[in-house]
Amino acid sequence: MSKHLKVPEATIKRLSIYMRVLKDLERKGVEVISSAELADICGVNAAQIRKDLTYFGEFGIRGVGYYVKELHFDIRKVLGLNQRRNVALIGVGNLGRALASYRNFSEHGYNFVAAFDVDPSKVGEALPSGIPVYPLSDLAQVAAKNDIEIAIITTPAEAAQGAADKVVAAGIRGILNFAPVQIQVSDDVKVKKVDLTTEFDNLVYHLYAKVR
């Protein structure tokens, strides 16, 4: 059990993918899977999967493989995903609206419970998805009342740092930042930047710039 070597960041990202696949297999009624089969579906090396899992325990049965349902459950637990999380949307633009109504989030345990904007014309009536829109100045209050743990920032670049400051002040410690700037927060707050344009750039490089 838990040997507590430090866990590679890459391992965490893969666990999330394994979990997705296991969820699907479970739904399809598959009961047992080997590391080789799972590796094949996920597009990684089988030893990689076994090694990733050993950071957290022994989950398999030698000569057999892994029980899909159990492994799914165990990975969820390891990742801290065995409970739903409430999410606030900061910045009600096109992207924000789309994310708030994205089914997948809800299916995977993320509830968008409130949206915030500085623009008074956006405040008051609910989003199409039914989520109420508050003035950004109400963030701390609403966050406390609704037990909001994660904020997702979809403001314009210029407004992102200011929004992040308010998020931190409201006691929220997890931020998913879709604005195309690096935001600065204190050490106890965790920010993940999602940069969609960078993904495009990367794709283009591999399509055209790669010599060989």
Partner DNA sequence: TGGTGTGAACAACTTCACAGCG
Partner DNA sequence: CGCTGTGAAGTTGTTCACACCA
Binding of DNA by 60 (CB under 7 A): yes
Closest to 48 measured CA to CA, from 3, 1, 11, 6: 11
For residue 137, the partner it binds in DNA, a copy of itself, none, with Cβ less than 5 to 8 A by kind, is: none
The sign of the dihedral angle between the CA atoms of 183, 187, 190, 194 is positive
Length of the chain in residues, anyone? 212
Measured CA to CA, the distance from residue 196 to residue 199 in angstroms comes to: 5
* SS3 state at 56: coil
Complex with a copy of itself: residue 6 or 62, whichever CB lies closer: 6
Complex with a copy of itself: residue 63 or 80, whichever CB lies closer: 80
Measured CA to CA, the distance from residue 65 to residue 58 in angstroms comes to: 11
Binding of DNA by 21 (CB under 7 A): no
Size of the site for DNA (CB under 7 A): 26
Task: With contacts defined by CB under 7 A, name the span among 19-27, 28-36, 175-183, 193-201 that binds DNA.
Answer: 28-36
Closest to 155 measured CA to CA, from 138, 171, 176, 139: 176
Q: Which amino acid is at 76?
A: R
Task: With contacts defined by CB under 7 A, name the span among 4-12, 18-26, 94-102, 139-147 that binds DNA.
Answer: 4-12
Residues at the site binding a copy of itself, with contacts judged by CB under 8 A:
4, 12-13, 16-17, 19-20, 41-43, 78-81, 85, 94-95, 97-99, 101-102, 104-105, 108, 110, 149-150, 173-176, 180, 182, 190, 192, 194-209, 211
Question: SS in 3 state form for 19-52?
Answer: HHHHHHHHHCCCCEECHHHHHHHHCCCHHHHHHH
Residues forming beta bridges with residue 110, ordered by sequence position: 85
Complex with a copy of itself: residue 62 or 209, whichever CB lies closer: 209
- CB 210 to a copy of itself: min, Å: 8
Contacting residues toward DNA, per CB under 7 A = 6, 8-11, 34-36, 44-48, 50-51, 53-54, 58-66
